[in-house]
Amino acid sequence: MLNRLKKLVVPLGIVTAAIALAVVMVNSREQLQPGAAAQALPHVQAVEVTLADVPISVVAHGNVTSRYELELASEVTGRIVWVAPDFQPGEIVAAGSVLLRVDPVNYQLALAQAKAALATANMALADATALKRKAAIGEAELNIEAAHQNVIKAEQDLAYTEIKAPFNAVIDRQLVEFGQFISMGQPVARLLSSDTAEVTLPVTSAEAGFLESSLGTPVVLSARIGEREQRWQATLSRIEARVDQASRVIPVIAEVASPYDTTVHEHRLPLGLFVTATLPGRPVSSAVRLPDSVVHGGDSVFVVTGDSLHRKRVNVIHREDGSVVINDGLETGDRVVSTRLDMMFEGMKVELSDG
């Protein structure tokens, strides 16, 4: 009985002693002084606003085309007996150069017959004059005039057997071949003028408003060809007085003089090339250019006042190349937040970074 009691008391004593020791350790622990935990504020960067005149550029894209395009047709009938070596698509030809020759034999014969008829008419007039026959003289004079006109026509037809380029051009399409029989009025080639090129640039009505005072100003065209970006100088020629019904844009025309002349341009500007145009526009007064990342919801920005964010509504008058031009809603000295946080709201506490 005594042994059984011992077995119960000893473990109970050990547990009691452990509890007592734990209580003493807890009570002897140094009390922690309550303190305010420092809350880390989000860091933001800001751009300080300085209102001034901000220059505007409008960027647009378009294809290079020739100012004049012509479907060249034959004015005589016959077989092609000669073709110029450069009468091929893509070749540049000078104004007045012969592209094709039609067999001239029939036209040489017609010219000889017209000259013979003119000589006969002159003889008839001489005979009538010698005989003093007034009626015959009048008829002979009319015959001479008709024969003279026939000679002019025969000479013209003979000249038309040489089909020439009417202006400096690029051959866009070759429509006939050597030995082919062609008829009067049949197209033989499609020509593109190489003296002046044009680029039609679609811009919105808002963008066109910045260009109204820029007619005649230089325009920079650019395109990447291979590994290099090439540039050409153009001129803002005109703004068309219409809106495209399909795209709702206004066509603006830039003009390039001598696009193939390497004494004018560093590189040739081939027709049909897709280019980017930078068009200078009138400046916006009392405005500021900022990164487009500062705009929230399309019409507002956050500014830092003290250590808090405040939302301001602004007017974005123009967007270009990753930036926006704002002309209303900000004042000089405002610090516009350029950092994008996951959450931003009115009155939010922030810390302004030096960067």
pLDDT category, 210, cuts 50, 70, 90? confident
Residue 167 pLDDT greater than 80, yes or no: yes
Question: Model's pTM, two decimal places?
Answer: 0.71
Terminal-to-terminal C-alpha distance of the chain: 85
Residue 242 pLDDT greater than 80, yes or no: yes
Close Cβ partners of 277 (under 8 Å, ≥ 6 residues apart): 59, 60, 61, 62, 199, 201, 219, 220, 221, 222, 234, 254
Close Cβ partners of 200 (under 8 Å, ≥ 6 residues apart): 62, 63, 65, 251, 252, 253
> What would you measure as the largest C-alpha separation in the chain, in angstroms?
186
Give pLDDT tens digits for 2-20: 555 555 555 666 656 666 6
Taking residue 315's Cβ as centre, other Cβ atoms within 10 Å add up to: 12
Residue 226 pLDDT greater than 60, yes or no: yes
Helix (H) or strand (E) holding 316: strand 315-320
Close Cβ partners of 219 (under 8 Å, ≥ 6 residues apart): 233, 234, 235, 236, 254, 277, 278, 279, 280
Taking residue 110's Cβ as centre, other Cβ atoms within 10 Å add up to: 17
Give pLDDT tens digits for 286-339: 999 999 999 998 899 999 998 899 999 999 999 888 899 999 999 999 999 999
Please name which of 168, 222, 186, 226 lies closest in space to residue 74, comparing C-alpha atoms: 186
**Cα 271 to Cα 199: distance, rounded to the nearest angstrom:** 10
> What pLDDT shows up at residue 36?
47
Looking at residue 218, its amino acid is P
Average pLDDT, the chain: 88
**Cα 203 to Cα 219: distance, rounded to the nearest angstrom:** 14
Close Cβ partners of 52 (under 8 Å, ≥ 6 residues apart): 286, 287, 288
Residue 355 pLDDT greater than 60, yes or no: no
- Average pLDDT, stretch 202-206? 90
> What pLDDT shows up at residue 245?
83
Half-sphere exposure of 18 (CA within 13 A, CB side): 6
Lowest mean per-residue pLDDT among 68-77, 155-164, 209-218: 209-218
